[in-house]
Structure 1
Amino acid sequence: MTANALRLPPEQAAHLLGHYRAGVAAKRRRLVLGMVVLAIAVVLAGIGGEVDIPKFLANSHRLPAYVWNLAPPLSWANLGNDIAEWFWNFDGWLLLLGDTLLIAYLGTLLGVGGAFVLCFAASANLERRPWIRFVARRLLEFCRTVPELVFALLFVMAFGLGALPGFLALAIHTMGALGKLFAEVVENIDMKPVEGTIAAGAGRLVSIRFAVLPQVLSNFASYALLRFEINVRSAAVMGFVGAGGIGSDLMVAIRKFYYTDVSAMLIMIIATVMVIDLLTEQLRHRLIGLGDRT
């Protein structure tokens, strides 16, 4: 009975089947057109970037050779001494790695503070004056649009080599990136508690303290921890332009082809980032209520 009820007249079935086939054909044409446009864009990008395919193929063996040279000569019979020779400057690199972590920590701390202050001025539901929102949002856009390395180069020229340029560069970029995220979190809050505090006679700061912050603090902390992970990686690169940390020694080793030193420092950086990722992941899970489920 069900099969008979769902059976359509031949004319109607043919009409619907024709529409279906036309829709499938149109979708396939759009897909093919999109692939053609993508291929043309890739070719134009290659021409603009002066990509030389024959040269790339002729020198493609150099990358595996470089990676192979990063591996130190290790033997089971003398493994301890080989590893000790590989990490011959472990204490010095560890101090530089500590500087990198401090740069990332202080840059994140200052950037989070600036983002926290500006996000309320950039939120449309809390700030009713358009010109203040405009200024706050453009400032945050400027801070996150300019790469950290560009800021670091500018600060190296202004303050000289050291950790200060890297710390300031990370702080400014962190403020711009987190300011946008914080503002979006604030714009998604429930406004009823805010309206209630205002109706009770509370001012702007009191309303933010008791009606806004309880709704957004967990998200703020989660984004800040995630940004700290990113800044640890970025701080390791700051040394490439003289902005302190282990990146300075890493850049020297790369330029002078000290292969084993490069691999030793990379292993230390990777291990540090992995540990920080694991720790901050656990903290984020606890903040958003997933700690008891994992």
Structure 2
Amino acid sequence: MATAIPVLPAGQAKALDDAYQAAVSARRLRTLMVLGIIVVLILISANLAHVRPLTLFGNIGNFGSFIGKTIPVLTFGNFFADMREWYWNFPKWLGLLGQTILIAYLGTFMGAIVAFCLCFLASANLAQSRWTRIVARRFLEFCRTVPDIVFALIFVIAFGLGPMAGVFALSIHTVGALGKLFAEVVENIDMKPVEGMSAAGANWFQTIRFAVLPQVLPGFASYSLLRFEINVRGAGVMGFVGAGGIGQEFLVAIRNFYYTDVSAILLMIIATVILIDLGTEQVRHRLIGIGEHR
């Protein structure tokens, strides 16, 4: 059965249409104002940072020239000999790359432990007092705000050259980064188990153990693996200030214009990061349940 659609009086319909058009116009105006502010801020930032598009396009050839110099000459008839010449120092570079991975692993492990201990104090739903949360949050902010390479330089001055400085630097930065992420995971838990444990007379530590950890451990592990991948990249730069790893050898190659060595070391770092990314991605997916039912 057909249903008649009521028609508003012309005056009321016009008033509603005018109100709608006014609302749309106001929204468009706000959007244009926001876009205008963003454009102005971009222009101011570019000016203060001395970003010159003409200079960029005028000197882009230098970048291409440098990349071209790092590409070795590989011939089909003498391919393996050319590869041996390109990776002439492969055993040493491989050892330094392994040291870089171990620096990243140990820095991630130590930082994750401290972050695990502090995240419950920094979370709004579990912190026992407001001041405890404030102190924990500010400490985590300090740890992640100071660049890890600055920490590495400080530790190199304090303890001398070597991978220990890189481990400590990555550990501190990892505490700040993972502590924030862990705290956010804790703040998003279901509070009903926590309330049930508290009602049953459990203390704070028992509540964390039995009501919180089962909910957050997969997220903690996932973020820790992601941080390990990031720290591998960070550890590759630590050698620039003498904190161990392959970074120092990479810097020497750049400074001395050993072009083919630059590309050889860089490709090793890229390949390592790709392999670690693929491996940690599979582990993360298993932890959070992606692909279980495929």
- Shared fold (TM-score greater than 0.5)? yes
Equivalence map 1:69-218=2 (5 Å): 69-218=69-218
State the Cα distance separating 1:139 from its structure 2 match: 0.8
Q: Does 1:267 align with 2:270?
A: no
Alpha-carbon offset, residue 118 of structure 1: 0.7
**Comparing 160-169 and 39-48, the one that deviates more:** 39-48
Query: How much has 1:234 moved relative to structure 2?
Result: 0.9
- Where do 5+ consecutive residues of structure 1 fail to align? none
Does the aligned pair in 2 maintain the 1:115–1:178 contact within 8 Å?
yes
Code of the aligned partner of 2:77: A
Residue of structure 1 equivalent to 2:237: 237
SS at match of 1:59: helix
User: Partner residue of 1:277?
Assistant: 277
1:202-251 per-position Cα deviation (integer Å, ceiling 9, x unaligned): 33322222222111111111111111111111111111121110111111
Q: Distance between the aligned counterparts of 1:226 and 1:198, measured in 2?
A: 33
Deviation of residue 273 (structure 1)? 0.7
For each residue in 1:34-90, what CA deviation from the matched residue of structure 2 results, as whole angstroms up to 9, or x when unmatched?
A: 333233222222322233444433322111111222211112111111111111111
Please tell me the root mean square deviation across aligned C-alpha atoms, in Å: 2.1
Distance in 1 between the 2:140 and 2:171 partners?
12
More divergent stretch after superposition (210-219 vs 111-120): 210-219
SS, match of residue 76 in structure 1: coil
Task: Kindly indicate whether the alpha-carbon contact (under 8 Å) linking 2:286 and 2:292 is maintained by their aligned counterparts in 1.
Answer: yes
The code of the aligned residue for 1:87 comes to Y
Q: Does 1:289 align with 2:259?
A: no
Q: Which residue of structure 2 aligns with residue 247 of structure 1?
A: 247
Note the C-alpha offset of 1:12. Answer: 4.4
TM-score if structure 1 supplies the norm length? 0.91
Note closer, same or farther for the CA distance 1:79–1:135 as it changes in structure 2 (3 Å cut): same
Task: After superposition, give the CA deviation of every residue in 1:254-273 in whole Å (9 maximum; x if it has no partner).
Answer: 11221111111111111111
Aligned residue identity for 1:251: L
CA contact (8 A) 2:121 2:128 kept: no
Distance 1:26 1:231 in 2: 47
Query: In 2, are the aligned partners of 1:159 and 1:165 still within 8 Å (CA)?
Result: yes
1:19-38, aligned counterparts within 5 Å?
19-38=19-38
Paired letter, 2:141: E
After superposition, give the CA deviation of every residue in 1:134-185 in whole Å (9 maximum; x if it has no partner): 2111111111111111111111111111111111111011111111111122
Label 1:143 to 1:78 Cα distance change in 2 as closer, same or farther (>3 A): same
3-state SS in 2 of match to 1:77: coil
AA paired with 2:51? V
Over 3 Å counting, the alpha-carbon distance change for 1:189 and 1:39 in structure 2 is closer
In 2, the alpha carbon distance for the partners of 1:160 and 1:291 equals 47
Residues 83-116 of structure 1, C-alpha deviation per residue, up to 9 Å, x if partnerless?
A: 1111111111110000100000000000000001
In the TM superposition, residue 252 of structure 1 has moved relative to its aligned partner by: 1.1
Question: Which whole-Å CA distance do the structure 2 matches of 1:57 and 1:216 have between them?
Answer: 49
Structure 2 Cα separation of the partners of residues 3 and 61 of structure 1 = 71
Fraction of identical pairs, as percent? 58
Counterpart residue identity of residue 92, structure 2: G
C-alpha displacement of 1:14: 4.1
Alpha-carbon distance in 1 for matches of 2:17, 2:203: 65
Q: Does structure 2 conserve the Cα–Cα contact (< 8 Å) formed by 1:282 and 1:291?
A: no
Question: Do 2:71 and 2:260's aligned partners in 1 also have CA atoms closer than 8 Å?
Answer: yes
Question: 1:222–1:287: 8 Å Cα contact kept in structure 2?
Answer: yes
| Residues 1:278 and 1:54: Cα distance change in structure 2 (over 3 Å) | closer
Aligned residues: 294
TM-score (norm 2): 0.91
Unpaired runs of 5+ residues, structure 2, are none
SS in 2 for 1:107: helix
Q: SS of the counterpart of 2:133?
A: helix
